[in-house]
Homo-oligomer: A and B are copies of this chain.
Amino acid sequence: MILKNDLLLRAANGEKVERIPVWLMRQAGRILPEYRQVRASLSGFKELVETPEKAAEVTIQPVDILGVDAAIIFSDILVVAEGMGLTYEMEEKKGPYFPKTIENLKDIENLRIGKADTDFAYTIEAIKITKKALDGRVPLIGFAGAPFTLLCYMVEGGGSKTFSKSKKLLFSEPEAAHKLLQKITDSTIDYLKGQVEAGADLIQVFDSWAGILSPQAYEVFSIPYLKQICEAIDSVPVTLFSKGAFFARKTMSSLPCSAIGIDWNMDPIESRKIIGNGKTLQGNLDPCVLYGSEKFIEEETNSMIKAFGSQRYIANLGHGVYPDTDPQKVKRFVETVQSFDVRSITT
């Protein structure tokens, strides 16, 4: 199917664009009343993730309502762990968590390699339905968590202030840690290949906890697995978003990915200098800017674009949109990007 709006893919591939593409991390769900309505009709978040028709419906909402240039499949990064045999639960306010965590080598050996067509069938199906319903209006983004971030969740059981359980595993039992990372990587590759076969036009990998590691530890415990994923997904562009890993920008620029997401801590001009011209950059407005006035949002968005330039660039936030953000403010952000005159800046 030919896409009517392929700005995102052209930007990711380094082709010339006449307008800057924009989407928001976590746009599917969270901020829209229309999303909350769908969710209220079900038992909760998890049922929504596992009901393909409904997941497809909330995936498309931001395209209709906010006018973004891409859809991202509604799901959660923890589904990979569940597909490996570690069930997660979702609690309102608290977020997702694992009642049983990975504590030792035996727990790791007990995990299976998750497979797209059985363990992740609901997401694969949701992608097929979404692609059909989108009818080529915008590209569909598929995604997964990075193996290192998944390891953190599986070991901690949820978020953490210090991630000391995860790091204790890395530093005191590195072989067990690598075994777990490889199993997650194998599951993730099968899952992402299934997403691409089902119709995902671009894949984003979220390394949400990258920022808790030292540069050296990141090279050992995350980069090799990101590399395997990039090498395995070779038919669509891959975007890597390693939140907080400012120190890994140089290394990441040598991975076979198309785009690199950066958070709002990282300066766009400096990031371009470190990463070079071989990758598309994505980001990086502080989600909290959307709490400001419309005028403030316009100013900050325009100054962000001027720093990134108009080519090899995908506008986005530097992190997922926060749930209490006014959708009207999100629209102002999207429209400010879309009305930016790319001829007004040289690059």
A157 within 8 A of B: no
Task: Name the B residues within 8 Å of A217 (CB-CB).
Answer: 286
A152 vs B182: C-alpha distance when bound (angstroms)? 39
A42 within 8 A of B: no
Task: Name the B residues within 8 Å of A287 (CB-CB).
Answer: 162, 164
How many of chain A's residues touch chain B, expressed as a range? 20 to 34
Identical subunits present:
2
Q: A217-B286, A286-B214 in contact; A291/B162 too (CB < 8 A)?
A: no
Q: Which of A80-88, A165-173, A333-341 contacts B (4 or more CB under 8 A)?
A: A165-173
Residue from B161, B167, B266, B288 within 8 A of A164 (CB atoms): B288
A293 within 8 A of B: yes
A322 within 8 A of B: yes
Q: Taking CB as reference atom, which chain B residue is nearest A319?
A: B162
A224 within 8 A of B: no
- A215 to B292, Cβ gap below 8 A? no
Q: Taking CB as reference atom, which chain B residue is nearest A293?
A: B172
Residue from B172, B247, B324 within 8 A of A265 (CB atoms): B247
- Flag A256-293 by CB within 8 Å of B: 1 or 0 each: 00000000111100000000000000000011110111
- Flag A298-321 by CB within 8 Å of B: 1 or 0 each: 000000000000000000001000
Which A residues have a C-beta under 8 Å from some C-beta of B?
A: 159, 161-164, 167-168, 170-172, 211, 213-215, 217, 244, 246-247, 264-267, 286-289, 291-293, 296, 318, 322, 324
